[in-house]
Amino acid sequence: MTTQPSRGATVRCRGRTAAVVLAAALVLGVLSGTQTYLLVNAYPDNSIGAADAYLPALTTWLLWAAFTPLVFTALGRWPLSGPGWPRRLLPHLALGLAVAAARYVLDLGVGQLLPWMPARQASLTGFLFRVYPNFLTYAVLTLAVHAALATRRARERELRASRLEARLARVELEVLRAQLQPHFLFNTLNSIATLMHRDVPAAERMLVRLSDLLRRAIERVSTQEVTLAEELDLLEAYLDIQRIRFGERLCARVSMPAPLLRARVPSLLLQPLVENGIRHAVEVCARPVRIDVAGERDGERLRLWVEDDGPGMGEAADGVGLGAAPADNDRSAPGPGRETGREASPPLRNGVGLTNTRARLEGLYGASGRLHIGVATSGGGTRVEVSLPFVEGEEEP
């Protein structure tokens, strides 16, 4: 669908065009007058005043500026580009001759009305002498307007392409973000379903916290970026659900310096990182597992990380700590065919959480947004770190 420019935009565009044409005529008039003034005064026996040099030159070029609307109209009807443009050259040749003749007649009238313009007498010789330069001037004017129109059309195409690309990128980001919500929801509902057979009050508390969490997530459904304080508020609601689910097996701590709380981060950034730790550390260990969420400012960048003290990436056979959590069955409780206390880890792969988080970082920040998975600084467990530009503000850009 092609969007038609508004009447106000059209008027502004025409006003800018008229201003440019007028400025060009004045510049050419000054240059022409300067040339006349210097050439005449270069000879000792000749002399000319500044007014006598500049006023005729400015008047001549302003008269040519009056013909530019005709040139725009002609190029709009017979464009000198696209298929078949040589056939459209003939109307321009005819129009150029007509304008050259009209300029000769106009110069005769102006010479009689304006005292600083040279007076001319109508004659066939004078007509033939003036038609040729007038025709060349009109041809140059036509080519200049054609080049300006072509440049403007190219710029408009580039602008439309960039806007389309920006809209496409935003749609892709919305899709990636929308995938995170059902991914998290399915996992939580699986946990509630498991708890219903073991601890009904805990399942009820989890449902209440889930409804609160979903309400907050829905409020930000069209928001790509939030402050870190808002993101931590949402993460705390998620951790409350997981604390109900795992009890003493999960020790989650959030330690974030106050100056970072106004930094802008992608919404639902930390939840997939914490979920990765829960999936690959808490669910596979019988002992309590610690998950730390922290961050710091590193110059003009913001670094956020989630560490766990689970099995880590050292146990390559299990593939612990490398992938994002796949949205499948809950692993919080032992089942048939599983080891009590130490369950087999999910296979090594990239799941929805970390894959989408990495894609969103690239979409929002390009090469400036990075996600790294490595060994925790304590020497055991896994560390998932996000690095992005540090930007403060309440309003989404």
The pLDDT of residue 111 is 67
For 221, half-sphere exposure in the C-beta direction (CA atoms, 13 angstrom radius) is: 6
Q: What is the pLDDT along the chain (397 residues), one digit of tens a residue?
A: 445 556 666 667 777 878 888 888 888 888 888 888 888 787 777 777 788 788 888 888 888 888 888 888 888 888 887 777 888 888 888 888 888 888 887 777 776 666 666 766 666 676 777 788 888 888 888 888 888 888 888 888 888 877 767 666 666 656 655 555 566 677 778 878 877 888 888 888 888 888 877 777 666 656 778 899 998 988 888 898 888 888 889 999 999 999 999 999 988 889 889 988 888 898 888 899 999 999 999 999 999 999 999 887 644 323 333 333 333 333 333 333 333 333 333 333 355 678 888 888 888 888 899 999 988 877 678 999 999 999 987 644 4
Which residues have CB under 8 Å from 387's CB, separation 6+?
Answer: 298, 301, 302, 303, 369, 370, 371, 372
Q: Which residue has the tokens 């990636």?
A: 176
256 secondary structure, DSSP code: -
Rounded to 5 degrees, φ, ψ at 344 are -65, 135
| Tally of CB atoms within 10 A around 181 | 15
Which residues have CB under 8 Å from 281's CB, separation 6+?
Answer: 289, 291, 308, 309, 310, 311, 320, 321, 381, 382
Are the C-beta atoms of 29 and 41 separated by less than 8 Å?
no
Q: Does the predicted TM-score (pTM) go above 0.75? A: no
In the CATH scheme, what is the code of domain 196-389? Answer: 3.30.565.10
The pLDDT of residue 302 is 95
Q: Where are the beta strands (DSSP E) in the chain?
A: 225-227, 250-255, 264-266, 289-298, 301-308, 370-375, 382-389
Which residue from 236, 370, 214 is spatially nearest to 291, judged by alpha carbons? 236
Between strands 370-375 and 264-266, the pairing is unpaired
Which residues have CB under 8 Å from 205's CB, separation 6+?
Answer: 244
Are the C-beta atoms of 364 and 224 separated by less than 8 Å?
yes
What are the extents of the domains in the chain?
7-162, 196-389
The pLDDT of residue 168 is 64
The pLDDT of residue 286 is 86
